[in-house]
Structure 1
Amino acid sequence: MVSWLLPFAAFVAIVAVIEGTKISSGGMCHPSDLKGLTSFRANVRVDTSGRLAKWTGIKCCEWEGISCDNSTGRVIEIRLPGFISTSDSPYQSQMKGLLSPYITLLRSLEVIDLGGLMDLSGAIPSSIGFDLPNLRKLYLCSNRITGQIPNSIGKLLKLEELVLFENRLSGTIPPSLGNLENLSSLLLYSNQLSGKLPNSLANLTSLVHIDIHGNYLAGDIPENVGRLQNLKELDLSNNLLSGKIPTSISNLTAISTLYLDANNLEGPIPNSLHEMPSLGFLRLQNNRLSGNIPPAFGNIASLQRVSLANNKLTGAIPPSIGYLSALTELYLDGNLLSGHIPRSIGHLSGLLVLNISYNAIQGQLPREMSSLQNLQILDLSFNRLNLSSIPTWFSQLSSLSKIYMAGCGIKGKFPRLLWMMPSLVQELDLSANHITGGLPSWLGSLTQLYLLNLSRNSLVSGIPETFASLSTLAILDLHSNKLTGSIECVLRSPTYIDLSDNRFSDGTEMIGLGAECGIRYLNLSNNSLEGRLPDSIASCILMKSFDVSSNELGFNLPVGLASISSLETLKLQRNRLTGNIPKDYLKLRKLRVLDLSDNLLVGEIPAGEPLSDFPESSFSGNKGLCGKPLPPCRF
């Protein structure tokens, strides 16, 4: 049953074509084409682009958005991107009547392209394969098409491109697609398709591009996938696929892009992957793959970007990795890899990103890594390196700007060689190490610093005043150290600040006093902060989480907090806050976490949401407080 809305019915009217005589020249319109285009124009109710107003005369092949076959002069393509906005259901009852006069006139149509045109709703007609036998390209992408892909689509034997991505299609991929021997592109990604990949897809030996990522496909990848000899791109990522990677996949000798990430694939990486001479981009991350990285992995000479992250891979990084001369990005993080970093890694002169974090890599860093002159991002975090200190040759890495060495066993004072880096450090994570002493004042000279994470060390002293110069700093994490003094100089530019579990005693009166407070996350809990929370905090209108619990703050609750409509988490427990809870706190409609317990608050809790939605524990430990959810007031 036909269920298209009016815009698609009108669109079909545009391309209504009757088999007829050859048009000689000059873009003159065949009478049946002119009739169909005129009918379309008459049925369009809104055209904000004004393009259809220019459809005048009889030279329709010259009209904007219309293309004709050079040989026959017949209309073969319509491209009118984004010129109609559809409404929802008002025209649905008219659809069948509008479509039926044109369905027999479309047998010579070669192209329908609706990609990005309209926001279509409805389903693909089940008769599409019988009515449009000459269709070459079907573009219905980025709409709101629902229902299933009809089985009759397998009748479109001339179809070359099937582009249905970013819709709401459900059900299974029909096995009849295996009849489309001329199909070169199959793009079904970002829908709600389920079931298994049909074995019949292996019959589509003309396929060059397959992209079905972002669906709910389950089951195994068919073993016969290796028959698709012309395939250059295969993306099955972000589905529910299971089983092993089929060994026949190495028969795809033309393939350059293989994305199987974010599934439930198990078993080893096929040893035969090195037989894929054109493979440039490989993503297998976020699966359950096990076993070793194949010893001959480095023989895939064309590899440029590789991610094997977040699997269960074991063993050592194979020395053959150094043969990947074209490699620019390598992600091996989140596995169970052991052994040493191979010296051959220094041969990867084009490497930009190296991430081997969260493994069990041991030993020292090979000096050969100093040859990685193009390396921009290095993540060695949480291995068993026990470096003691950062190697001096780090200062030779002329392009390195993002350094992640959390949990690497670094000891002693803050490594001074980071000051001598030839590149401008943008992100620095040395958390969970054994760094002692104070924060050096020269950190304020790293003027390009965006992220600084020194949490979980043994740092003492205060925050240097030079930190006020870090105008690009957005993320500052110094929690779980022994830092003292004032926090004033770091409350201006960062959006994420975590100074919890230290010994800070001053600076809260500066919260929100900057010209523009961009703080979104502020955690000052478990310190020795005194004084009051200022009403100027109201200028931090973007803040989502505020935690100053377990300090020595006093005075009344700031009314200004009620102005932060984005606030989702508010933790003020275990302080010396006094007075009533302001009624304006009822304006905090997005609040999901609240804890005001163990203070000196008094009076009745303001009645109403969201305060009444929180448990008794959010208000307990305030002897003078009453009202829901605490016991009723008696005054």
Structure 2
Amino acid sequence: MLLKVIYSVLFVLTSAKCCLSAGISSNIGCVRTEKTALLQFKQGLIDKSNVLASWETGKDCCEWRGIACNNKTGHVVTLDLYYNSSDIYNVETPLSGVIAASLLELPYLTYLDLSFNNFKGEIPKFIGSLSRLEQLKLAGANLSGPIPPQLRNLSSLYTLDLAWNYVTFENLEWLSHLSSLRYLNMSRLNFSEFVNWPESISKLPSLVELQLSSCNLPNVELSFVNSSNSLEVLELSDNPLNLSIFNWMANVSTNLVHIGLAGDQIQGPFPDVFANMVSLVSLDLSYNKLEGGIPKSFRNLCSLESLNLEGNSLSDRLEDSVENLSCAQDTLESLSLSGNPFSGSCPDNLTRFSSLKELYIDGTNVSGSLPKSFQPLSRLRSLSLVLNQFTGSLPDFTGLSLLRQLIISKNQLNGSLPESIGQLSSLEHLDLSWNSLNGVITEVHFSNLSRLNFLDFSRNPLSFNLSSDWNPPFQIEFLRLSSCKVGPAFPKWIQTQINLTSLYMVNAEISDSIPGKFWHLSSSLVELNLSMNQIRGKLPNLSTKNCTFLYFDLSSNLLDGPLPPFPSSVAILRLSQNMISGPLSSFCKTEAPNLFFLDLSDNQLSGELPSCWMQFQGLLSLNMARNKFSGKIPSSLGYLKNVVLLRLQDNKLSGELPSLENCTELRVLDLGANKLSGKIPTWIGPNLTKLLVLLLKSNAFYGSIPLSLCSLPALHVLDFSKNNISGALPHCLANITALSSMSPEVEDNSSVGFVQLTWKGIQIEFGHNLKLLRSIDISSNNLSGDIPESVTSLLKLISLNLSRNSFTGVLPNNFGQLEMLESLDLSRNQISGSIPPSFSSLQYLSVLDLSYNNLSGRIPLSTQLQSFNASQFTGNLGLCGQPLTPECPGDATTEDPAVPNGSGSDQTKQDDDGLISLGFYVSLALGFIIGFWSVCGTLVLKTSWRYTYFRFFDDIKARIM
């Protein structure tokens, strides 16, 4: 009993002491000197978001944001002000300023993290005096200058992160003193001068993780390094390495868990060095130039969970490569083989990898049919088989209840869509576009797809048969049904999709008007493309609909009525090839500062062009061709300083061309087929130096061609045809570099859109191939004088049309220099003299017209010139020879010096009256037949003679060779 009482008393006393100690511990605040040091550190910072609002004098510093103290001593042990830049919801701004030396007053600091802030200056040298520091993280802190060698004093440091700064270092000797280091991240620092970096790393015996991505590691042959058991994570992506990295890697550690060598430009056969890496869990060799296939040593990697070989040059049979992964069939969760030119068919053994969650085999040469079922891959989350050559029907997707992403676009699949796809209850992204799938889509195909937010069936002849009152189980964001049979009615079920952001139903056989209720979805719609249908009706005033359109395309439909104002958000607006009529005045109510593409061509818009273009100064492309606009071109178009393409052709615009000299970015200016007049402005040359296409054809311009046009170095196409231009052709055309120089193209012409040109007598629309075209057309004007010799310096010219003018003189002798010329029309001028012999060098000519001039003499002989019709040379009275005439005068006269008094005709008559008679021809025929068969017949019938005969000729051939 007494013993129990003693134990009870001891228990009470012990409990009281513990409680008292706990109370004392909980009341210990931070040390005053350390609190003062932190406040001084704060004074050196610029805190725009008031991140350090809790750092107040009246509060315990151990309770401040980012501060942690030892709960027994009160000393500050942690300073963590890491800025999370990857958090899209983080509205705070990073700290800036300087890292004050007052941190030296925190002698017990073990953890310092100032990552991803915006400090100035160098890494402070005093950090090397924080002797108890165990973790130092300064990644992305905008620090510069040399790394202080004092960091070598941090003997307790086991984490060092200096990545993503602008710091430099003379050597790596200081690293070898950090014997406790386990984690080292120096990514994005420049190692280009340190060929001995592997030796420096090998002196860190405790290193577990090494991060040296994007360090410009020197491409040297790596020497052998003794194996260790510490290094587990090796990340060397985005460095210019070679195949020797594999041998170094195989010897640096036997316990590697992760290897990252993505984007290292490693070229050559896939090394077979993985036999001893049995601990490997993750391997990323994407975007290199490895060849062959997955080596057999992978059969030892039984713990592999992630393998990324995307973007290499692996070309072996895919079945063989997959077979070499067989040991990981129960562990492999992520496999990416995209972008390799594998051969063979889709391997059936893929379905053995029961743990697969992600499978990417995009852009390979894999062909054949898909497995009949993916049911064994019940854990699959993502399946992407884009851009292959798969044929046959889609597999059965039963059992893939976890599948979130299914992408099998751009293949050659056919057949109907299996109804099992409607049972993929976790599916969020479904893309089967650009195949040949057919059949009917019903509600069953969507029955359980409640999470679907992306659907793309485009470019498949699928027919939608959905009831008019169908209410989908999903709320979709991206819907693309182009080239599917969705119509004829506009789908009512789409009007239920209140989260719809992007809608593409191009060429969907819709021949209905757009319901008014649809426009209520516009508060979420950003992309709308309903082009190439037969949608009729009028567009509402979308500026009042709370719209958020960025991309709006209803081109190639049957819309009519006036053009309404559009919302301020619109950036791309395409309404070409409709029946929209009336003036543009209402469109001027559109206040869209971000509008950069406007296409209203091929409508029935009329009246004068408005003067409101100053409010659309962001326009890059303006196309209002083929309408009924009249009146003058407004001077406000000159405010479009960024415009690249301006097309107003095929209207009824009149008057002189206003100044566009501020539109210095213009590449294409097409004002053809109007009623414009006046002289061609001289400002075009010196101001529009980036001009590629200048089309002023079919107007009433007069006067001479200004010499300033020769200041257009990039000009590809010049068309002044069908005007009243007079004077001479400028001699300086050879100054146009794009026409005369054979140097490689530098200018990117991909942004000029489509340009309609008269090419070889036919109206053709040029797009991306415009960069290959070089053309000058000044036909049907009043130009006179000689064709200057400088024209023959336009070495890249492909088409030249100077027809229907009043050119005189002779053709330049060096016309044959224009070896790339495919079309040449000089007809209906007054050119005289002969066709230069150099015309025989024009081997690519497919269109030629020299008719109705004053040319004379013989047409030069060449394969090309004699292939044209006589009509291309007619109207030249002195011209002769094929194909115009069989021969030229004098070709039949042959004077025989042995018969001085006899003419050619007499001689011919004498021959006819003498030896050459009917008997002569009979004898000639009989002699040929007898001679031929006496030799050849013997060779046919006598084998030994034939053998000797051909052997004789073989011997002669051997001696000659």
With structure 2 as the length reference, what TM-score do the two structures score?
Answer: 0.53
Give the aligned partner of residue 152 of structure 2: none
Output the amino acid matched with 1:115.
Answer: S
Output the amino acid matched with 1:550.
Answer: R
Find out whether 1:61 has 2:257 as its counterpart.
yes
Range moving further from structure 2, 280-289 or 317-326: 317-326
- 1:82-116 superposed Cα distances (whole Å, 9 cap, x missing partner): 322469xxx99999888767646634322221123
Give the aligned partner of residue 575 of structure 2: 356
Find out whether 1:483 has 2:701 as its counterpart.
yes
SS at match of 2:700: coil
Output the amino acid matched with 2:694.
Answer: L
Give the aligned partner of residue 530 of structure 2: 308
Q: How far 1:463 sits from its partner (Å)?
A: 0.2
Q: How far 1:253 sits from its partner (Å)?
A: 4.0
Output the amino acid matched with 2:256.
Answer: C
Q: Distance in 2 between matches of 1:396 and 1:307?
A: 25
- 1:316-350 superposed Cα distances (whole Å, 9 cap, x missing partner): 113467424311221222211112334xx35x122
Find out whether 1:377 has 2:592 as its counterpart.
no
Q: Distance in 2 between matches of 1:161 and 1:235?
A: 16
Give the aligned partner of residue 546 of structure 1: 800
Find out whether 1:274 has 2:517 as its counterpart.
no
Find out whether 1:579 has 2:834 as its counterpart.
yes
Aligned pair in 2 of structure 1 residues 83, 445: CA closer, same or farther (>3 Å)? closer
Correspondence for 1:456 among 673, 684, 691: 673
Q: Distance in 2 between matches of 1:543 and 1:100?
A: 57
Output the amino acid matched with 2:345.
Answer: A
Contact 2:525 2:548 in 1 (8 A): yes
Matches within 5 A, 1:183-262: 183-227=403-447, 228-241=449-462, 251=472, 253-262=474-483
Output the amino acid matched with 2:862.
Answer: A
Contact 2:677 2:700 in 1 (8 A): yes
Q: Distance in 2 between matches of 1:568 and 1:246?
A: 58
Q: Distance in 1 between matches of 2:881 and 2:457?
A: 56
Give the aligned partner of residue 12 of structure 1: none
Contact 2:255 2:280 in 1 (8 A): no
Contact 1:522 1:545 in 2 (8 A): yes
- 1:228-247 superposed Cα distances (whole Å, 9 cap, x missing partner): 33222222334444567886
Output the amino acid matched with 1:211.
Answer: D
Q: Distance in 2 between matches of 1:327 and 1:528?
A: 50
Contact 1:351 1:372 in 2 (8 A): no
- 1:244-289 superposed Cα distances (whole Å, 9 cap, x missing partner): 7886997264422222234565413213323212211122224432
Q: Distance in 1 between matches of 2:871 and 2:397?
A: 59
Output the amino acid matched with 1:331.
Answer: D
Contact 1:206 1:230 in 2 (8 A): yes
Contact 2:784 2:808 in 1 (8 A): yes
Matches within 5 A, 1:69-468: 75=281, 78-85=284-291, 103=326, 106-116=329-339, 118-129=340-351, 131-167=352-388, 169-227=389-447, 228-241=449-462, 251=472, 253-262=474-483, 265-300=486-521, 301-319=523-541, 322-342=544-564, 345-346=565-566, 348-365=567-584, 367=586, 369-374=588-593, 375-387=595-607, 389-397=608-616, 399-400=618-619, 402-419=621-638, 421=639, 425-440=643-658, 442-468=659-685
Output the amino acid matched with 1:431.
Answer: Q
Output the amino acid matched with 1:303.
Answer: L
Matches within 5 A, 1:515-530: 516-518=737-739, 520-530=774-784
Contact 1:172 1:196 in 2 (8 A): no
Output the amino acid matched with 1:162.
Answer: L
Q: Distance in 2 between matches of 1:212 and 1:276?
A: 21
Q: Distance in 1 between matches of 2:524 and 2:670?
A: 36
SS at match of 1:504: strand
CA RMSD of aligned residues (A): 3.8
SS at match of 1:273: helix
The structure having more radius of gyration, on CA atoms, is 2
Give the aligned partner of residue 471 of structure 1: 689
Q: Distance in 2 between matches of 1:504 and 1:629?
A: 34
Q: How far 1:139 sits from its partner (Å)?
A: 1.9
Q: Distance in 1 between matches of 2:243 and 2:418?
A: 42
Output the amino acid matched with 2:424.
Answer: L
Q: How far 1:292 sits from its partner (Å)?
A: 0.4
Contact 1:480 1:500 in 2 (8 A): yes
| Unaligned runs of at least 5 residues, structure 2 | 1-206, 210-240, 263-273, 294-313, 740-772, 892-961
Contact 2:649 2:671 in 1 (8 A): yes
Q: Distance in 2 between matches of 1:582 and 1:213?
A: 57
Q: Distance in 2 between matches of 1:450 and 1:631?
A: 46
Aligned pair in 2 of structure 1 residues 99, 373: CA closer, same or farther (>3 Å)? closer
Give the aligned partner of residue 22 of structure 1: none
Range moving further from structure 2, 453-462 or 372-381: 372-381
Q: How far 1:56 sits from its partner (Å)?
A: 1.0
Q: How far 1:291 sits from its partner (Å)?
A: 0.9
| Unaligned runs of at least 5 residues, structure 1 | 1-24, 28-46
Q: How far 1:499 sits from its partner (Å)?
A: 1.7
Aligned length: 574
Output the amino acid matched with 1:141.
Answer: D
Q: Distance in 1 between matches of 2:242 and 2:869?
A: 53
- 1:17-36 superposed Cα distances (whole Å, 9 cap, x missing partner): xxxxxxxx969xxxxxxxxx
Range moving further from structure 2, 579-588 or 291-300: 579-588
- 1:54-98 superposed Cα distances (whole Å, 9 cap, x missing partner): 4313233233359x9xxx9663554432322469xxx99999888
Q: Distance in 2 between matches of 1:321 and 1:269?
A: 23
Correspondence for 1:607 among 857, 862, 868: 862
Aligned pair in 2 of structure 1 residues 207, 96: CA closer, same or farther (>3 Å)? closer
Output the amino acid matched with 2:504.
Answer: R
Q: Distance in 2 between matches of 1:221 and 1:567?
A: 54
- 1:592-631 superposed Cα distances (whole Å, 9 cap, x missing partner): 54444555365345433x5566566555655666676666
Give the aligned partner of residue 118 of structure 2: none
Aligned pair in 2 of structure 1 residues 390, 235: CA closer, same or farther (>3 Å)? same
- 1:343-380 superposed Cα distances (whole Å, 9 cap, x missing partner): xx35x122223332322223344547434141333333
Contact 2:394 2:417 in 1 (8 A): no
Contact 2:367 2:391 in 1 (8 A): no
Give the aligned partner of residue 495 of structure 1: 716
Output the amino acid matched with 1:63.
Answer: I
